[in-house]
A and B are shown apart, each in its own frame.
Chain A
Amino acid sequence: MSSSLFWMIIGAALWLLGLHGLLTLRQALRRIIAFNLMGSGVFLVMIALASRSQPSDPLLVALVVTGLVVAVSATALALRLAGVAQGGRKHAHPEEPRQ
């Protein structure tokens, strides 16, 4: 088994671990973490593919560098959305008995 195949399997396992978390977990923060793990799994597969040639395939590395920044901005937006949703639920509950 070559080194890149080993890391590809680890990447696939990471993606599926994230998927498993996304399917079973309920807390928003954990789900966002699970989503990030899935993204990291994809990046790991891409970099394992890049390491087939020496030095690494610059195209895949550049794509993952771009993806990393997109991932962090998506995480920030998701956390904001989750915070607003939870805040909304917290504010909505006290009003229910009145109606």
Chain B
Amino acid sequence: MTEWLFDGVLGLLLLGLAFGALYGRNLYASVLLFIAFGLALALIWARLGAADLALAEAAIGAGLTGVLLFAALARQPGPADRPEVTGTRLRLGAAAVVLPMLILLVQGLAPLSEAEPHLPEMIARHLDETGVSHPVTAVLLNYRAWDTLLELAVLLLALLGARQLGPRPLDLAEPWPLLRAWARVLAPLLVLAAGYVLWRGASAPGGAFQAGALLASGVVLLRLSGLLPRLRWSSAPLRLLVLGGLLVFISVALMTAWLGGGWLAYPVGAAKPLILLIETVATLSIAASLSLLVVGEGEDVSS
């Protein structure tokens, strides 16, 4: 009974926050409610037993997306408190499309909740051959390493796409003294936590994505409090960090295809060190790409 009460409250809170984020009085309120939505979602992931996801959501969904949205809000040309004007007719029309879809979706999804999944068994059966003991990490870096490789490529593409749009100055206000003092304390702790999460990822919830997101949030914190110099794509070490994950991953894939059993099929016994190598460089690469996406700047900011 109490579980149902908890679930119901969490679900209603989530939908309420989502509604507020969409139709909030002004953009500022919308962005704030969206950050709260991310935190509520992290709670729900923890409730549903996906601790890996709760870690990633708290750092990415609530932290980095919040910074991104606030930075975009600050660059809005018009006044940010302009209310959204939508005709009642348009709203009703959209509702008339959406409500029947809800019924259809629920009808389509309901049988799925009864079906018996058979994949977890198959994953558990071969877990000791993967080199790690946490099934989620095993899926990410062994069974479906392809996904992770392509995901790094997507991250790089997004970064290149954002770069194509020209330089973007980041106007930093004079940081609040308390923020500056806290950033100095928090940054080493974030690095420590990221290292721990990365290392624990082999046997418990955690891994490259979560550690990368934590590191990136540390970099963003330091940059926003003015303790780091400008992050520029033109600096060679940063570029190497961004590309490193993908390069190491592809070279491992090529080596396994050439010398071993096939594309990304790790040789027996070498799986653990290879996964650890890939995870370490992928963490650094994800951290560098995300921080460049969030607080990176163009090279030639003249105006």
By a beta-carbon cutoff of 8 Å, the part of chain A in contact with chain B is 2-10, 12-21, 23-27, 29-30, 32-34, 36-37, 40, 43-45, 47-59, 61-66, 68-70, 72-77, 79-84, 86-87, 89-90
Chain B residues whose C-beta falls within 8 Å of the C-beta of A16 in the assembled complex:
98, 101-102, 105
Chain A residues whose C-beta falls within 8 Å of the C-beta of B77 in the assembled complex:
86-87, 89-90
Known: A17-B15, A59-B119, A68-B209. A77 touches B84 (CB 8 A): no
Known: A24-B86, A72-B64, A73-B155. A61 touches B22 (CB 8 A): no
Any A CB within 8 A of the CB of B172? no
Chain A residues whose C-beta falls within 8 Å of the C-beta of B213 in the assembled complex:
69
Any A CB within 8 A of the CB of B56? yes
Chain A residues whose C-beta falls within 8 Å of the C-beta of B209 in the assembled complex:
65-66, 68-69
Query: Is B84's CB under 8 angstroms from A58's CB?
Result: no
By a beta-carbon cutoff of 8 Å, the part of chain B in contact with chain A is 3, 7, 11, 14-15, 18-19, 21-23, 27, 30-31, 34, 37, 41, 44-45, 48-50, 52-53, 56-57, 60-61, 64-65, 68-69, 71-73, 75-77, 82, 84-86, 90-91, 94-95, 97-98, 101-102, 105-106, 109-110, 112-113, 115-117, 119-120, 123, 135-136, 138-140, 143-144, 147-148, 151, 154-155, 158-159, 161-162, 165-166, 168, 207, 209-210, 212-213, 286, 289-290, 293-294
Query: Is A61's CB under 8 angstroms from B136's CB?
Result: yes
Question: Other CB < 8 Å A-B pairs besides A7-B48, A72-B293, 15 of them?
Answer: A10-B14, A36-B34, A37-B22, A47-B45, A50-B48, A55-B49, A56-B49, A58-B135, A59-B120, A59-B144, A61-B53, A62-B144, A65-B52, A77-B162, A79-B68
A45 to B277, CA, bound (A): 33
A84 to B73, CA, bound (A): 13
Chain B residues whose C-beta falls within 8 Å of the C-beta of A47 in the assembled complex:
45, 48, 50, 53
Chain B residues whose C-beta falls within 8 Å of the C-beta of A26 in the assembled complex:
84-86
Chain A residues whose C-beta falls within 8 Å of the C-beta of B84 in the assembled complex:
25-27, 30
Main secondary structure of the interface of B (DSSP, over half): helix
The closest CB in chain A to the CB of B110 belongs to A5
Query: Is A18's CB under 8 angstroms from B18's CB?
Result: yes
A74 to B68, CA, bound (A): 11
Give B120 Cβ to nearest chain A Cβ, in Å. Answer: 5
Most buried by A among B31, B84, B143: B84
Chain B residues whose C-beta falls within 8 Å of the C-beta of A49 in the assembled complex:
112-113, 117
The closest CB in chain B to the CB of A67 belongs to B151
